[in-house]
Amino acid sequence: MSHPHPELGPPPPLAPGGLRMVGLGGLGEIGRNMTVFEYDDRLLVVDCGVLFPDQDQPGIDLILPDFSCLDGRMDQVDALVLTHAHEDHIGGVPYLLRQRADLPVVGSRLTLALVRSKLTEHRLTPVDLEVQAGSHSSFGPWQLEFLAVNHSIPDALAVAIRTPAGLILHTGDFKMDQLPLDGRLTDLGGFARLGADGVDLLLADSTNAEVPGVVTSERDIGPVLSDVFAGAEQRIIVSCFASHVHRVQQVMDAAAEHGRKVALVGRSMVRNMGVARELGYLRVPSVHGGLLVDLREAEEMPPDQIVLISTGSQGEPMSALSRMAGRDHPIRIAEGDTVILASSLVPGNESAVSRIINDLTRLGARVVHKGNALVHVSGHAPAGELLYVLNLVRPSNFVPVHGEWRHLKAHAELAALTGVPEASIVIAEDGVAVDLVDGRISVSGKVPCGYVYVDGLSVGEITETSLKDRRILGDEGFISVVVVVDSTSGKLVAGPEIHARGAGIDDAGLAEVGPLVEEALAGAAREGVNEIHQLRQLVRRTTGRWVSDNYRRRPMIIPVVVET
> Is the dihedral angle over the CA atoms 549, 550, 555, 559 positive or is it negative?
negative
Chain mean position to CA 419: 33
Question: In this structure, which amino acid lies at residue 511?
Answer: A
Pairwise CA distance, residues 459 & 355, whole Å: 30
Residues whose CB is less than 8 angstroms from the CB of residue 479 and which lie 6 or more positions away in sequence, other chains included = 498, 499, 500, 503, 505, 510, 543, 547, 555, 556, 557, 558
| Half-sphere exposure (Cβ direction) of 34: Cα atoms closer than 13 Å | 29
Tell if the pTM clears 0.75, that is, is over it.
Answer: yes
Q: Domains of the chain (ranges plus CATH)?
A: 21-213+378-459 (3.60.15.10), 218-368 (3.40.50.10710), 464-563 (3.10.20.580)
Question: In this structure, which amino acid lies at residue 394?
Answer: R
Helix (H, G, I), strand (E, B) or coil at 564: coil
- 319 — phi, psi (to 5°)? -75, 165
Terminal Cα-to-Cα distance of the chain (whole angstroms)? 66
Pairwise CA distance, residues 84 & 108, whole Å: 7
Pairwise CA distance, residues 175 & 359, whole Å: 34
What is residue 555's DSSP assignment?
Answer: P
Q: Contact 443/522 with Cβ under 8 angstroms?
A: no
Stated as kind and residue range, the H or E segment containing 157 is: strand 157-163
What is residue 14's DSSP assignment?
Answer: P
Closest CA to 492 of 460, 458, 515: 515
Question: Residues in the chain, how many?
Answer: 564
How many other C-beta atoms lie within 10 A of the C-beta of residue 456? 10
Pairwise CA distance, residues 6 & 64, whole Å: 22
Tell me the pLDDT of the chain (564 aa) as tens digits.
Answer: 555 556 788 999 999 999 999 999 999 998 899 999 999 999 999 999 998 777 677 677 788 999 999 999 999 999 999 999 999 999 999 999 999 999 999 999 999 999 999 999 889 999 999 999 999 999 999 999 999 999 999 999 999 999 999 999 999 999 999 999 999 999 999 999 999 999 999 999 999 999 999 999 999 999 999 999 999 999 999 998 888 999 999 999 999 999 999 999 988 899 999 999 999 999 999 988 899 999 889 988 999 999 999 887 565 656 778 888 888 888 888 899 999 988 776 666 677 778 888 988 999 999 998 888 888 899 999 999 999 999 999 999 999 999 999 999 999 999 999 999 999 999 999 999 999 999 999 999 999 888 888 777 767 777 777 777 777 777 788 888 998 988 777 788 887 888 888 877 877 778 888 888 888 888 888 888 878 888 888 888 998 888 888 888 888 888 898 888
Closest CA to 429 of 63, 1, 6, 51: 6
Q: Would residue 61 be called left, alpha or beta, if left means φ above 0 and alpha means ψ between -120 and 50 degrees? A: alpha
DSSP letters spanning 36-92:
EEEETTEEEEE----BPPPTTSTT--EEE--GGGGTTTGGGEEEEE-S---HHHHTT
Q: Contact 499/468 with Cβ under 8 angstroms?
A: no
